[in-house]
Amino acid sequence: MSHNTFGHLFRVTTFGESHGVALGCVVDGCPPGLPLEAEEIQAELDRRKPGQSRFTTQRREPDQVKILSGVFSDDRTGGRQLTTGTPIALMIENTDQRSKDYSEIRDSYRPGHADYTYDAKYGLRDYRGGGRSSARETAARVAAGAVARKVVPGITIRAALVQMGPHAIDRANWDWEEVGNNPFFCPDANAAALYETYLDGIRKDGSSVGAVIEVIAEGVPPGLGAPIYGKLDADLAAAMMSINAVKGVEIGDGFAAAALRGEDNADEMRAGNDGRPRFLANHAGGILGGISSGEPVVVRFAVKPTSSILTPRQSVNRDGAEIDLITKGRHDPCVGIRAVPVAEAMMACVLADHYLRHRGQVGERA
C-alpha cells in the first residue's frame, strides 16, 4: 500500500475529495474478458449510498458511476461489455455540495477528525466536508470492489453489522437474509429491532456510536497469500484499517484467541471428500501462516463513533486559541453502518490481488 494505491497485480488507485468535482478510481490489472456493466457497479454503490434511511447522513448523492475506460463491446463479444485488461477508470461526480459557511471548520480542529493532522502534515487542507479524509472516498472503493468481485471464480463475499455501541447481536440468530431487511445490515432481526430504538435515541441526543462489522468470504481457494510480508491476513488487516474510523481488526477468533489454550484453539482436521482436509473448527478464520486454508475467511473490525457530534467539545483553532466546538451538518450517527458494503469491497480487492499473485507465482494450482 502506498499513498492512494493498494494492491500489486490487482491495483486500485482512488482520488477525490468530499466536496470536489468528482471522485473515483483506476482499477489496474483486472484480467481481460470479464463481463462488466455500469449497472453492476451501481448496484453496489446504491447499497452504500447516503440518505437511504434516517440512520445515515441526509446528503443527497445519486452516486452515479461512469466507466471511462477499460471495457469494450462489439458484435464479436455478443454485445456484452467485457474488460480488456487495460485500466478501468470509474468516476462519480459530486452533486450535493451544499453551499454553506465553512468558516468554522476551516479554522478549527474538530476532535477525532483529521483536521489537525492534515494541517500538521501538509500545511493546508481542503476542509469542505472533510476533503480527502471524508468517508465519501469509500464510494470509490465500493466501485472498485464491484470489479474485484468478478476476479476470483466461485467466491461469495458478505458482511454484516454484528455490534452497535455496546449491543452485540445474538449469533444464534444469524440469518443472512435479514441483512437486507433492515437499515443496519444486521443479520439478527431481534438486534435490528433494538438498534432502531437505540440509534434513534443516540441521534436525538446529537451523539453517535461505534460498531463492529464482520466480513466473510466463502469459496476462497486454499493457497492465497504468501509468507512473510505478503500474508493474506496482513493485507486484510491493512485494508480494513484503512477504512475511515476503524480502530481494530481481527481474523477468526481474534483477540479471544489470546485467552485460549492450545488444545482449544487447534482447528482439528478429518479427511475431506475432495482430497482436502475437512476442518472441524475455524478459529483461524481461514488463514494459517498467512495463506488461505480453504475455510471461510473471517474478518471483524471495530469502527469508532462518528466524531461529528452536537455535544460541545473542547478544542483549539489553527491559531492555537482554545475554543468550544460542536459539529453541525449532515452526519451518520453510526458510521459503521455504511462501512458494511465498504468492507465487502476491500475483501474483494484483497482476494483478487492475492488470487492473481498466486496464479502468477505458482500457476493454476489454486
Distance (Å, whole) CA 106 – CA 127: 6
Identify residues 31-60 at the interface with a copy of itself (CB under 8 A). Answer: 31-33
CB 207, min distance to a copy of itself, A: 5
Q: Which of residues 231-260 bind a copy of itself (CB under 8 A)?
A: 231, 233-242, 244, 247-260
265 forms part of the interface with a copy of itself (CB under 8 A):
yes
Minimum distance from residue 51 beta carbon to a copy of itself (Å)? 20
Helix, strand, or coil (residue 342): helix
- 136, 208, 342, 348: which one binds a copy of itself (CB under 8 A): 208
Q: Does 219 contact a copy of itself by CB under 8 A?
A: no
Among the listed residues 96, 104, 126, 196, the single contact to a copy of itself using CB under 8 A: 126
122: CB partners within 8 A, 6+ apart: none
Measured torsion, CA atoms of residues 267, 289, 217, 259, in degrees rounded to the nearest 10? 50
Report the residue from 160, 292, 339, 351 that binds a copy of itself according to the rule CB under 8 A. 292
Compute the distance between CA of residue 48 and CA of residue 72 in angstroms, rounded to an integer. 27
Minimum distance from residue 60 beta carbon to a copy of itself (Å): 21
DSSP 305: P
C-alpha span between 222 and 292 (Å, rounded):
5
| 143, three cell numbers | 466501485
| Sole binder of a copy of itself in the list 125, 158, 203, 338 (CB under 8 A) | 125
- Residue 306 assigned as binding residue: yes
Q: Report the nearest approach of a copy of itself to the CB of residue 324 (Å).
A: 10
Distance CA(287)–CA(289), nearest Å, equals 7
Name the residue type at position 261: R
Binding piece for a copy of itself, criterion CB under 8 A, among 44-52, 56-64, 120-128, 337-345: 120-128
How many residues contact a copy of itself, by CB under 8 A?
162
CA distance 11 to 144: 9
